[in-house]
Chain A
Amino acid sequence: MANTQAMCTSFLGEILTATHNFGTAPVRAVTTPDVFKAALYLTSATVDASTTAYSASNEVSGTGYTAGGVTITGSPAWNAPTATNTSTTAGTAFTTPTASITYTTVTLTTAFDSVLIYNSTQSNKAVSVHTFGSQTITAGTFTLTMPSNTTAAALLRIATS
């Protein structure tokens, strides 16, 4: 047997469930999952790793679209966070929404190319930005289908290597 320096993969998964707190954190009155939303942004926007919270600046607008986007729904909304070891030094924690994100009967005539996932329960704090080819919608539906909920493809992954 030998010891190996590593970040414990269980910890990676527990980050996704707010199990650990190394600093000042919100007081959680419930143990149920937070509510997350998905907002669309114009190609002229600058949402990236430096984004800290949802903003209406350069968000899409148009008929049928409500500022702030749509709530990520499902039962549950997200797959239970999973942590999988891939070696003695590496692992991945991951989760993905259980259903597609859909904007139904909207008209968005200015091109957009990204979606911001954010936590509406925790002061709209940002989670992730996902980009795609530029789109417009006219009296139609925009659907974002989620990737497979696996170590290699999940929408949210925290990994060591």
Chain B
Amino acid sequence: MRISTTTIFDLGVAGLQRNQANAVKTQQQLSTGRRILTPADDPIASAQALQVSQADGVNTQLGVNRSQAQSQLQVSEASLKQVGDLIQSIRERAVAAGDGALSGSDLKSIAADVSAMYEELIGVGNATDGGGNYLFSGFQGSTQPFVRNAAGTVQFVGDDGQRLAQVGASRQVASNVSGADVFERMRTGNGTFTWAAAGANTGSGIIGPGTVVNPALVTGHNYQITFTVAAGATTYDVVDTTTATPVLAAQPYAAPSTAIAFDGISVNIEGSPANGDSFSVSPSTSQSIFTTVQNLVTALNGNGGTPLANNLGIALTNLDQALDQVLGQRALIGSHLKEIDALNSAGDDLGLQYKSQISKLQDVDYAKAISDLNLEQTNLEAARQSFLKITQTTLFDYLR
């Protein structure tokens, strides 16, 4: 075929440029560390890389959410531990106050002690997190949740709002606990019913812990147990005061203690009730820990002896309920923290996977790229030398 001189030069230059372009591209890949320099280099892989890096971004943010929730839960946990410790201490004081040998002034000093712990309890209820938000006020983070009203009673003015944290792609956990669940809503008595001795009792009858014998028979009514002492024999009547119907009549009381059972429940009364002494049994209600402690302080400051023993009994029962409730809330926080830990390790694994996937999709294979570059350099050198060879001489060189 005829070759025109222009073609020789055009082809030579085009070949040089092509080789050079290849070498430059490989060099760019090496210098950036990326195989995909623009989406056009591999549209599918670059769209995938974009998707994966978006997923990675979301995963990273979920990790941030988790650590935030974790620290908030840990702060709440610490406060709840403090509440539990305080209730425990108050309980110990209440138990100590049960020692019949204590004098009135001893009881007063215990009362002062419990009062101080009561104040401390209010302080913990109004604890704030690092950002100055109240821990137990629900949605109203800037509102102090426990305030004293005009009568000196502590009231809850927060709400049940749960501050949720997005800890997984489709998982939210509460990062706070409700102040009402920790400090309010304590069921009095054994949770089903509670009991009390009438203030006017003159005997030494002490009403003890009540139990539910048969839940199916529990009515939820109020009852009154009244003792009659006649001719050396002590008997008692039980009346359902809700319906004003007698339940038990003239049952014999066997000293030193008798379990009185009716309508699926049973209460124990010990000591020697006097004629006309009465005890009441009523359904459990919600009561705040503050009321429980305040009642304890009032009892400690009041008369010793049998009334104190009755009041201490119910106070201990209520404190146990409170402690149970706080422990329940701590367990809830613990389970959240555990879940966050599990999600954290899963999230970290996922993050590593995403990163390796992105790297696989868009990072350059150095070994391959370096070998490519060597080949391209060789090609370029060959193209240069051959081009020079072919264009160096023409027939004109020999026309002399």
Q: Do A and B come from one complex?
A: no
Question: Which residues of A are at the interface with B, using a C-beta cutoff of 8 A?
Answer: none
